Amino acid sequence: MSRRGRTASLPTTPVRRPPVLMDDGLVVEHRDRAGAVAVYDFRTLPVADALRRSLARLFAARCVPSRWTSHHSSRYFWLPLQAFTAHLATLDAPVADLDQLTAGVWKQWRLSRPNTRFGYRQITTVRGLLLDDPRLSAAAREALARRVLQPTTKEVSFQDAEFDAIVTTARRMFRTAHLRITDNARHVAQWRSGAFTRGSEAWLRGEALDCLARTGEAPHDTRVRQRGRVLARYARVLGGERPEHTWQRLFLTRMERSHWGCCCWPSTAGTSR
């Protein structure tokens, strides 16, 4: 009501919530009740781009006030999703998208989880998210819908064989990261020593990597507001603008850092982002 008792006019512009899906459908921004933002970058998941987008859409559909009202909920699903995609990356025949997920792949994932509360949580959270996708085959949907029994025994430490398998997987992951970072660090050292002809592709790549090593970002146009927009000449020699083309050349991914304690990492490996 106005001061004279008249009905106040309603705003004519509709209130719109900020978008949840960002950066071409690969980054999800979850706003909690207070408006604080948690960012989930699906570009870091080690699976095909189409599968990343599908998972991001399912995840974003829950990052709304009627579903997830706190960051605890989104983090609760994000960590098992990272573990699930890491498992998919180890398969001989990777899953390109959710319409290719088979009952056999899901069974492999279930059997790979420890019979603990932690393993139970990983299975049930990922299952709940995937069942939201209507493209799942009937066989896959039936496999996902099967009851998962909660563990009734006390959690015990890993057996020697189980622990060895975990360490082997972690070492394989770190070997790949070590080779990647070492090769790019060597290129930076050669560029700094003047080994490349100025203006050549090798020189431009070295300049971009040097900028990454010093600032954590590839050279970009500061006049462009879009975050992470790499200058065209550097994007060309790096192979693109995605994390695997830019900062992952010299820094560990979140997945690689999470396995840090499982193996002995060489002291020359590089730093984490």
Could you tell me which residues come within 8 angstroms of residue 94 by beta carbon, excluding any fewer than 6 positions away?
Answer: 47, 48, 88
Same domain, 136 and 252: no
Q: With respect to residue 184, please indicate whether it lies within any of the assigned structural domains.
A: yes
The pLDDT score that the predictor gives to residue 200 is: 93
Q: Has this prediction a pTM greater than 0.95?
A: no
Same domain, 186 and 249: yes
The first and second tokens of residue 98, run together, are 């959710």
Same domain, 168 and 263: yes
- How many contiguous H segments (helices) and E segments (strands) does the chain have? 9, 5
Same domain, 81 and 179: no
- Alpha helices of the chain — where are they, by DSSP H? 49-62, 71-89, 103-112, 117-130, 138-145, 160-192, 201-215, 232-238, 254-258
pLDDT tens series, the chain, 273 aa: 455 556 656 555 554 566 778 768 899 999 988 888 889 999 999 999 999 999 999 999 999 888 898 999 999 999 999 999 999 988 888 899 999 999 999 999 898 888 888 889 999 999 999 999 999 999 999 999 998 888 765 555 555 565 566 666 666 767 788 888 889 999 999 999 999 999 999 999 999 999 988 888 888 876 654 555 788 899 899 988 888 888 888 887 776 666 554 444 443 334 444
Q: With respect to residue 153, please indicate whether it lies within any of the assigned structural domains.
A: no
Q: With respect to residue 4, please indicate whether it lies within any of the assigned structural domains.
A: no
**63: amino acid identity, one letter:** C
Same domain, 164 and 268: yes
Residue appearing with tokens 């496999």: 143
Are 42 and 60 in contact, with CB atoms under 8 Å apart? Answer: no
Q: With respect to residue 251, please indicate whether it lies within any of the assigned structural domains.
A: yes
Q: What's the domain range around 61? A: 21-145
Q: With respect to residue 7, please indicate whether it lies within any of the assigned structural domains.
A: no
Same domain, 189 and 264: yes
Are 106 and 143 in contact, with CB atoms under 8 Å apart? Answer: yes
Distances (CA, A) of 31 to 26, 36, 43, 169, 203: 16, 5, 20, 35, 42
Residue appearing with tokens 């994000």: 78
Same domain, 53 and 136: yes
Residues 51-71 as b/e (b if ≥16 CB within 10 A, e otherwise) read bbbbbbbbbbbbbeeeebeeb
Same domain, 26 and 140: yes
The pLDDT score that the predictor gives to residue 150 is: 82
Same domain, 91 and 67: yes
Domain count, the chain: 2
Q: At what angle do helices 103-112 and 117-130 cross, to 10 degrees?
A: 160
Q: With respect to residue 264, please indicate whether it lies within any of the assigned structural domains.
A: yes
The pLDDT score that the predictor gives to residue 142 is: 93
